Amino acid sequence: MKVLHLSHTPLVGAPGQICAALREQGVDARWAVLKPENYAGLSFQLDWRWDHHLDEILAFAEAADLIHLHNYIDLDCNDFAPLDFRQLWVQGKPLVRHLHSTPALISRYMGKTEQEVLNCPIPKLVIAQYPERFFSRACIVPNIVARAPASPDRTGKPLRVGYAPSNFRSARISRWDTKGYPETIKTLKRTQASLQKMGIPLELDLITQVPHLECIARKANCDVFIDDLVTGSYHLNTLESLSQGCATLTHLDGRIQTMLAELLKRSDFPALDVRLENLQTVLEHFARQPELARALGAESRLWMQAHWSPSKMAQHFIAAYATITAYPGQAFEERFNPSPAANYRIRDHFDQIWLGRHASWPKLAPAWLTAIKHGLANGFRRLGLKL
């Protein structure tokens, strides 16, 4: 089977991981990126670049049994001309659209309404994270992470905590497009200072704007890793950290826990459910007994090898592809009825809880003061000085 993946952006390397796992299962899967520029100083391993490999991409598209479109690509998308997705659709070419974001974010990027995004007739896949609660007729598929090499032995060393946010927005600014960076950093520094007064060491590795391979290497040398403590969803960061053998902290709301149990047919996903407001308490506990964190990390690594391996996760895509090629253009079965009551249980209830938590999060300096501080810091760095 030949499958061509197309995306506008690198999507934190997720399509490449999927293709690698599919190739191990005998699927000839390739990935082409239209805009390979990396955001926030990150860089990810790519396959084909649209501007460098157009002839190969078009030839592969012609021979492909299925075209796997990511996030912003619908039937009217002309960014990948001469590929005409509407014409391919009319001709009966099997297409699938893989959603990585909420309808609100996708609609803003595309200049369409949220309803237009939801009405797209292409059969849909959705990542097994927070976006699934917005797409009732999308088939849930996992993000995939490569097998991680053995991590360094940190026995006897002070607890090291890692944090690698992909954006720097406040927890209060966005419901989903945030990792709570300023609030989390403030809590981490407050925790480190508190432990220092008690004579307990805590090492912090704040990883920002580095290539993905460097980030992975630094994760492997951490005992605890922090993902998203504010929104209620885990991300690719969680999967990578668990695979690296880190005790991994992320907030998992009730909907995410239910969905993971349905996907995995088990309820022991090893990430630790921690909210931002509980972070200091949890880290102080681990700092006093770092070997406990290392034991949890070792168990997490083994769990990922057994239950979230690339070969096992690839089967979700292979099953979806079989359905799509057998019934091109036919939507997947509805997973939940998007009635007002169901929407409240699945989305609105957790949105209200998120709003109610704001008061317990660290207070931040006014935006104008933060901007002045950043401007001064950047100016001093250019002069080779320190504030």
- Cis before 82 (ω within 30): yes
Q: Is the pLDDT of residue 244 over 70?
A: yes
CA atoms within 13 A on the CB side of 26: 3
The mean predicted confidence, pLDDT, of the chain is: 92
Domains of the chain and CATH, by start: 2-144+311-326 (3.40.50), 159-308 (3.40.50.2000)
Span 332-355, pLDDT tens digits: 999 999 899 999 999 999 999 999
Span 34-93, pLDDT tens digits: 988 755 445 677 899 998 999 999 999 999 999 999 999 999 999 999 999 999 999 999
Average pLDDT (135-160) is 93
d(CA 148, CA 242): 10
Burial of residue 118 (CB within 10 Å: 0-12, 13-18, 19+) is middle
Output the pTM of the full model. Answer: 0.90
- Per-residue confidence (pLDDT) for residue 287, from 0 to 100: 98
- Per-residue confidence (pLDDT) for residue 387, from 0 to 100: 47
